[in-house]
Amino acid sequence: MPQFGSIEMERYLLEHSSPEDPLLHELDRITHLRTIQPRMVSGHLQGSFLKMLVRMARPNLLLEVGTFTGYSALSMAAALPSPQARLHTVEINDELEPLIRSFFDRSPFNRQIVLHIGSLNNALDQIPGLFDFVFIDADKREYIDYYEAILPRVRQGGFILADNVLWDGHVLQDPKPSDHHTRAVKAFNDHVAADSRVEKVIIPIRDGLTLMMKR
Ligand SMILES: C[S@@+](CC[C@H](N)C(=O)[O-])C[C@H]1O[C@@H](n2cnc3c(N)ncnc32)[C@H](O)[C@@H]1O
């Protein structure tokens, strides 16, 4: 019988979900052709889930840490509740900027997206106001730092979503001292679990997403 996570199950899930937007489909393809680690892209299933969460949360101010080629940003921007709502997305790798902008420019939601090339702290200094929704999807070794920098900037009742919190199942293992990524993801999960400032649940979609609400 096909297992969860199998190609057959993935195909079934996609066949019974809304179809992928043609621009996102093209971006996914170009990401696989032009980048070294294409598996970092959210892809259709997770992108659709992010979009649905944004539809439900109706954020006026949304922050993403880790743009990569822009798939998740474009997915979420399509669900913003009004033309005044803004999605700020931060990417540290400036080599990705031309590719990101070439796709943002073709999106009908381009005017609602603000791309910040550089560090999260610089971007936070430039964005006024409190965030309604934050998607953390950058360097796993820095997750606790992102979380602590971002939480004071989230409104009460606002949401933070963190990606890759199951790290391919490695969180169930005792990592070697040299396995900094697994150690960091486990430390982040423990940090959030012990933090009474947020209500949280881990959703085992793809590589695991932790959804948190600031109390
Ligand atoms: C997993 S990818 C993001 C995938 C993207 N959110 C998507 O769903 O298509 C992680 C990205 O975070 C970027 N990154 C790493 N450290 C960062 C930091 N401190 N600030 C901003 N971006 C960072 C990497 O360059 C990479 O492009």
- Domain limits, the chain: 7-214
Q: Which CATH number fits domain 7-214: 3.40.50.150, 3.30.70.330, 3.90.1280.20, 3.30.70.141?
A: 3.40.50.150
- pTM summary value: 0.97
Q: Can you give the pLDDT at residue 55?
A: 98
Q: Can you give the pLDDT at residue 6?
A: 87
Helix (H, G, I), strand (E, B) or coil at 127: coil
Q: List the Cα angle 3/47/37 in 5-degree steps.
A: 80
Give the pLDDT of the chain (215 residues) as one tens digit per residue: 667 778 899 899 999 999 999 999 999 999 999 999 999 999 999 999 999 999 999 999 999 999 999 999 999 999 999 999 999 999 999 999 999 999 999 999 999 999 999 999 999 999 999 999 999 999 999 999 999 999 999 999 999 999 999 999 999 999 999 999 999 999 999 999 999 999 999 999 999 999 999 99
| Percentages of the chain per state (helix, strand, coil), in multiples of 5 | 45, 20, 30
Contact status, residue 41 vs residue 31, Cβ threshold 8 Å: yes
Q: Which of 62, 137, 145, 161 to mutate to test the pocket of ligand 1 (most atoms within 8 A of CB)?
A: 137
Question: Which token pair is 62?
Answer: 């949304």
Q: Can you give the pLDDT at residue 3?
A: 72
Q: List the Cα angle 132/75/78 in 5-degree steps.
A: 75
Q: Can you give the pLDDT at residue 177?
A: 93
**Rounded Cα gap, residues 94 and 52, in angstroms:** 29
Q: Which of 45, 91, 113, 148 to mutate to test the pocket of ligand 1 (most atoms within 8 A of CB)?
A: 91
Q: Can you give the pLDDT at residue 5?
A: 76
Nearest to 69 by CA among 108, 112, 111, 25: 25
Task: State the distance from the centre of ligand 1 to the C-alpha of 214, rounded, in angstroms.
Answer: 23
Q: Can you give the pLDDT at residue 78?
A: 98
Partner residues linked to 61 by β-bridges = 86
**Rounded Cα gap, residues 161 and 209, in angstroms:** 7
Q: Can you give the pLDDT at residue 205?
A: 92
Nearest to 60 by CA among 3, 130, 2, 123: 130
Helix (H, G, I), strand (E, B) or coil at 6: coil
Question: Which token pair is 70?
Answer: 């822009």
Q: Which ligand 1 atom is at minimum distance from the Cα of 163?
A: 1
**Rounded Cα gap, residues 211 and 213, in angstroms:** 7
Q: Can you give the pLDDT at residue 2?
A: 63
Q: What are phi and psi of 104, to 5 degrees?
A: -60, -40
Q: Can you give the pLDDT at residue 112?
A: 98
Helix (H, G, I), strand (E, B) or coil at 19: coil
Site residues for ligand 1, CB cut-off 6 Å: 40-42, 65-66, 68, 71-72, 90-93, 119-120, 137-139, 142
Task: State the distance from the centre of ligand 1 to the C-alpha of 1, rounded, in angstroms.
Answer: 35
